[in-house]
Structure 1
Amino acid sequence: MNDRLAALKLFARAGRVGNFSSAGRELGLSQPSASRLIAALEAEVGATLFSRTTRAVTLTEAGATYLTRVEAILAALDEADHEARGTGELRGVLRVGTPISFGLREIIPRLPAFIKQHPALKIDLLVTDRYPDLVTEGIDVSFQFGALPDSSATARKLIRQPRILTASPDYLRERGTPTMPSDLAHHSVITSPAHPSPTFSFAKDGRVATIRVESQLSMTVNEGAITGAKAGLGIAASSLSSARAELESGALVRILPDWDCGSMEVNAVFVSGKIIKPAARAFTDFLVGELRR
């Protein structure tokens, strides 16, 4: 990579994360090297692109305008390189965001097949149950459940999964198995990002039942709720895929299986207005094919 292209890529990341060191690390550059590249770029452009303080760097007005142009150019260049090769080979870095359960249970087990197809592609996987900032974190595609909090994002639906309730056999032997939604009022229900609200709605044969539960235990990650349910701490709500292995092994039992507890849509999310990276598009297509089998 020549210095000008490296400087543009560094500038684009630094403009989003507000830090030369962090942006440099992503590109394999030391902090002094990153600072020199940015200074050389500013000299070549003939404008100050960043305001610098001891704590952070922020884009100047000229820098913000330049960033918009540069990001479009880098995306177009990536697309042009991909088309010119004409082989479908993917190169560079693909940054993927995913919730913890979906990443551990659905994405990572399928990565070997995709990586085998594209050995020149490097994948950075951001696994977290918080909704990531696609722009500042430089994420090319993020797989998320449910409604999108970021109205500026573009989404493509992958699949829709039922939301289910599960508990361990030991818990059910001790506390009894709920047969009606109203029974949940007498049980311990673990709340998590899969269903953070204490209010549950169920449907069956045209009937709708709404019940408010008391939660003694709340989790910030869905995998924690599944682990808590396995340990006998209560009943957990999750997507079907998040508990499939435990259901198949008998570690968890599905509760109220004949009642509809809603569904959870899985979306591939992209930054709106940006050209989608060929690698992001290819990985999304690959995952759709795998999940819909």
Structure 2
Amino acid sequence: MSDRWQEMTVFARVAECGSLSRAARELSLSQPSVSRIVSALEARLGTTLLLRTTRSVSLTEAGALYLERARRLLAEMEEAEQATRGLDSLHGVIRLAMPVMYGTRAIIPAVAPFLARHPDLRVEIVMSDTRQNLVTDGVDIAIRVGVGQLDNSNFGARRLALIERLVVAAPSYLRMHGSPADPVELAKHACIIQHGLFGRESWRFTHGQTVAAVDVSARLSINSAPGVLAAAVAGMGIALATRIMAGEELRSGQLTQLLEAWQLAPAEVHAIFPAGPKLSAKVRAIVDHLAEALSKP
């Protein structure tokens, strides 16, 4: 490849890996060669793109901007090559970010057959209920689960699924505190919320034409879905959950669904693309696969 394409490719992989040595291994280059290529790029551009320490590298503001543009150009080049080879020759790495619970119970099982069909592809999965910076963290696709509009219109997005939300509690909690007969009674109960996702302290229900918005008493606030689920199973209060999140616990009797006659707005699952709406062939292929897999009951 030309020197500039090589510089761009090497820089992007270092930024995505957060490590010179790891990028060198993946690119089948020596670490000194990778360091030299990045330094040559910085010298040509006249700016520092990466801050290096003995353990890791991080992007400067200029580096984040260059990475965003570089990923778009590299995606276009890859798309041209894949169009010639055909989708069966998909290769390379896809870096996929997702929330912990939904990722564990829905995304990872769906990825398995995709990888089986494309043996030259590798998927790096980053699991966190804290939303990453897609550009600086070098993420190809981020799976977002939430209610309402997306928070950044600068990214490309595709809705993959709608998932039912429901109210749950452990039988031990209900024996001690009783079961709410309608949403208004939730205000008298200890509730558990997941802050930063869809665990708002005002829960909105519908029943036919009737709407009920309840300001719940959130005695416990947790920043991860597994934590919310564990607290609910432990009898610490009433929680919002998705059907996928709490399905096993409902089937086993560890949790009970409440207020079944009332509906909550479903959670929306989106795939977000940091490079905008134009996708590389490998990213488009896995997004298409996930959209089909997640739409099935």
Output the TM-score relative to the length of structure 2.
0.85
What does residue range 56-67 of structure 1 map to in structure 2 within 5 Å?
Answer: 58=60
What amino acid does structure 2 have at the position aligned with 1:264? Answer: A
1:50–1:59 CA contact under 8 A, matched in 2: no
Q: Which residue of 2 aligns with 1:149?
A: 151
What is the CA-CA distance between 1:134 and the residue it aligns to? 1.3
Distance 2:112 2:50 in 1: 42
Distance 2:282 2:31 in 1: 28
* Stretches of structure 2 lacking an aligned partner (at least 5 in a row): none
RMSD, aligned CA: 2.8
Q: Percent same amino acid among aligned pairs?
A: 34
Q: Which residue of 2 aligns with 1:167?
A: 169
1:161-213: CA deviations, max 9, x gaps?
22211111121122111111111122111010443321111111211112212
What is the CA-CA distance between 1:57 and the residue it aligns to? 6.2
What is the CA-CA distance between 1:234 and the residue it aligns to? 0.9
Q: Which region of structure 1 is more displaced relative to structure 2, 186-195 or 126-135? A: 186-195
Q: Which residue of 2 aligns with 1:50?
A: 48
What is the CA-CA distance between 1:279 and the residue it aligns to? 1.7
What is the CA-CA distance between 1:94 and the residue it aligns to? 0.2
What amino acid does structure 2 have at the position aligned with 1:27? Answer: A
1:190–1:237 CA contact under 8 A, matched in 2: yes
Distance 1:129 1:76 in 2: 31
Report the CA distance shift for 1:139/1:69 in structure 2 as closer, same or farther (over 3 A).
Answer: closer
1:115-172: CA deviations, max 9, x gaps?
1111111101111112221111111111102332222112111111222111111211
Q: Which residue of 2 aligns with 1:185?
A: 187
Secondary structure of the residue that 2:270 maps to in structure 1?
strand
2:68–2:275 CA contact under 8 A, matched in 1: no
What does residue range 67-86 of structure 1 map to in structure 2 within 5 Å?
Answer: 70-86=70-86
* Stretches of structure 1 lacking an aligned partner (at least 5 in a row): none
Select the residue among 239, 245, 258 that pairs with 1:236: 239
Q: How many residues align?
A: 285
What is the CA-CA distance between 1:274 and the residue it aligns to? 6.0
Q: Which residue of 1 aligns with 2:269?
A: 266
Q: Which residue of 2 aligns with 1:127?
A: 127
Q: Which residue of 2 aligns with 1:275?
A: 278
1:53-75: CA deviations, max 9, x gaps?
77766366xx7886566433311
